[in-house]
Every structure is written in C-alpha cells, then in structure tokens.
C-alpha cells in the first residue's frame, strides 16, 4: 500500500487526478516545454522551489557509501521504495528502466536513485535482491540506498516521506514521490506515481501509461541536463 504525497504536493497530486479528465488543458506553470499537458497531468508533475536538495550520506545495494554530493553534476531522479513491495514499487522500477532506455546517450548524465523505506528489510542484500528481481541492475547509474535507522528517518523527514510500518509481515504504507534534482543539487520538479488494482488486489498500470511514465521521466531528466553547463 502506498500513501501518495505530503503537504502541498499531496494537494497537487489529488487535484490533478480529480481534474485530469474534464480539465486536461490545465497546466502548471514552469514545466519543461517538452512535456505535453496530458503527460504532466498523468504524472501529477509540478515545480518546486529551486532550493538545495537535502543532503544524505547512505549506503548503496553494493555496500558502498554514497552521498547526494557525490552525484553533483548529474541529474538525480530520486524515489523512495520498499524493498519488499509488491504494489507500486515494481511499477516505478519498470518506469525507471524504461526511462533509462528512452534517454539514450543522455543517460550518462542522469543518476537513478532510491532510498529504502522498509525498516525491517533494509540490508544491502535486501536492496540488491529487489534491484535484480525488477531489472534495475540494467541501469548503470542505479543506486538503492539504505543506512542506519537514524540516517533513514532523517532522509524520510527531509523529503516529506511518511512511513507506516506495523511489523515485518504487515503491509507497509509509504509516500510515493519522485524528485527531480538538477545537476547543481537543487530540487526542480516533483511527480506522484500512481497505480490501479485488479479485482484480486494486484497492482498494475495499463501498458500505455507505463510507457508514458517512462517517457515522461526521461523527458524531464533530459531537460534538466541542459542546466549542467549553467
């Protein structure tokens, strides 16, 4: 289960979902010109104040330390994932893989990063297993991060991520947001992944929407790579 958004971003996400059909012409100001309004609405894409993204110092799925500062000079596509998720996280994983392929040569200027939100399954081995299962290892820049509970909680708080975890066998509820961070380390855009469910409860998105998400992530990231020389 996933809780979408937080604070103002939650309002934006809900407003977009509720108004998407009758008001598809509504477009948030400041979005990249290469993002059609229909795609921006699908992604609940919005601008955020150009402020420095909160720093983090964590450990990736290979057991190697990584900080946000290490990624300076590249666009960072940042998500928060549950390493034992069977709901929205596998869908976002596919969207990331698709986005990487859509980026082509520009992919070398983009880092795909996630921070774990599962306090019960947070070892590098847990993250490596999830990455392999969902094909994220196909992305050379992919890093799935974990750390001490203190470091994780600080990162969740800094990025407005809410976690509800009632035990290792219970469904974990968490905010699902994608942050787009420019090459100079400033937050630029925010997107809110969504999913649907079959009658049996399985999470899914129609193939066309999955593909659109992949293209949208790639388009936003590619647009931000232009800032690298600025």
Instruction: Give the pairing of strands 2-3 and 173-175.
Output: parallel
Closest to 196 measured CA to CA, from 213, 184, 220, 218: 213
pTM: 0.87
Mean pLDDT, residues 195-208:
82
Instruction: Give the Cα separation of 167 and 119 in Å (integer).
Output: 9
Instruction: Give the Cα separation of 100 and 96 in Å (integer).
Output: 6
pLDDT confidence bin for 2, thresholds 50/70/90: low
Query: So what's the pLDDT on residue 172?
Result: 79
Question: pLDDT (tens digit, 9 = 90+) per residue, 63-94?
Answer: 999 999 999 999 999 999 999 888 889 999 99
Q: What CATH number is given to the structural domain containing 190?
A: 3.40.30.10
Mean pLDDT, residues 124-145:
97
Mean pLDDT, residues 95-121:
96
Query: So what's the pLDDT on residue 11?
Result: 31
What is the SS3 string spanning the chain? CEECCCCHHHHHHHHHHHHCCCCCCCCCCCCCCCCCHHHHHHCCCEECCCCECCCCEEECCCCCEEEHHHHCCCEEEEEEECCCCCCHHHHHHHHHHHHHHHHHHHHHHEEEEEEECCCCCCCHHHHHHHHHHCCHHHCCCCEEEECCHHHHHHHHHHCCCCEECCCCCCCCEEECCEEEECCCCEEEEEECCCCEECCCCCEECCHHHHHHHHHHHHHHHHHHHHHHHC
Domain of residue 166, residue span: 2-229
pLDDT at 4 over 70: no
Question: pLDDT (tens digit, 9 = 90+) per residue, 6-65?
Answer: 433 333 333 333 334 444 557 788 999 999 999 999 999 999 998 999 999 999 999 999
Q: What are phi and psi of 21, to 5 degrees?
A: -70, -55
* Mean pLDDT across the chain: 87
Cβ neighbours around 165 below 10 Å, total: 15
Instruction: Give the Cα separation of 175 and 79 in Å (integer).
Output: 10
Query: So what's the pLDDT on residue 179?
Result: 98
Mean pLDDT, residues 108-114:
98
Question: pLDDT (tens digit, 9 = 90+) per residue, 153-186?
Answer: 999 999 999 998 878 777 778 899 999 999 999 9
Identify whether the C-beta of residue 61 lies closer than 8 Å to the C-beta of residue 113: no
pLDDT at 109 over 70: yes
What tokens does 7 get?
Answer: 């604070």
How many domains, in total, are found in the chain? Answer: 1
pLDDT confidence bin for 227, thresholds 50/70/90: confident
pLDDT at 217 over 80: yes
Query: So what's the pLDDT on residue 229?
Result: 60
């Amino acid at each position: 289960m996933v809780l979408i958004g937080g604070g103002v971003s939650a309002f934006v996400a809900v407003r977009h979902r509720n108004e998407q059909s009758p008001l598809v012409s509504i477009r948030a100001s400041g979005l990249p010109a290469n993002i059609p309004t229909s795609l921006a609405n699908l992604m609940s894409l919005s601008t955020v104040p150009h402020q420095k993204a909160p720093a983090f110092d964590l450990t990736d799925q290979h057991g190697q330390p990584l900080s946000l500062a290490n990624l300076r000079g590249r666009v960072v596509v940042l998500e928060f994932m549950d390493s034992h998720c069977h709901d929205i996280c596998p869908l976002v994983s596919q969207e990331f893989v698709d986005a990487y392929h859509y980026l082509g040569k520009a992919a070398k200027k983009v880092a795909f990063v996630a921070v774990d939100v599962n306090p019960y399954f947070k070892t590098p081995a847990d993250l490596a297993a999830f990455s392999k299962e969902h094909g994220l290892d196909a992305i050379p820049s992919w890093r799935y991060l974990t750390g001490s509970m203190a470091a994780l909680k600080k990162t969740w708080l800094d990025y407005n991520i809410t976690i509800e975890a009632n035990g290792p066998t219970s469904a974990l509820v968490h905010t699902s947001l994608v942050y787009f961070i420019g090459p100079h380390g400033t937050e630029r855009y925010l997107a809110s992944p969504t999913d649907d469910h079959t009658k049996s409860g399985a999470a899914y998105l129609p193939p066309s929407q999955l593909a659109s998400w992949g293209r949208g992530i790639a388009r936003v990231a590619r647009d931000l790579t232009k800032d690298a020389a600025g």
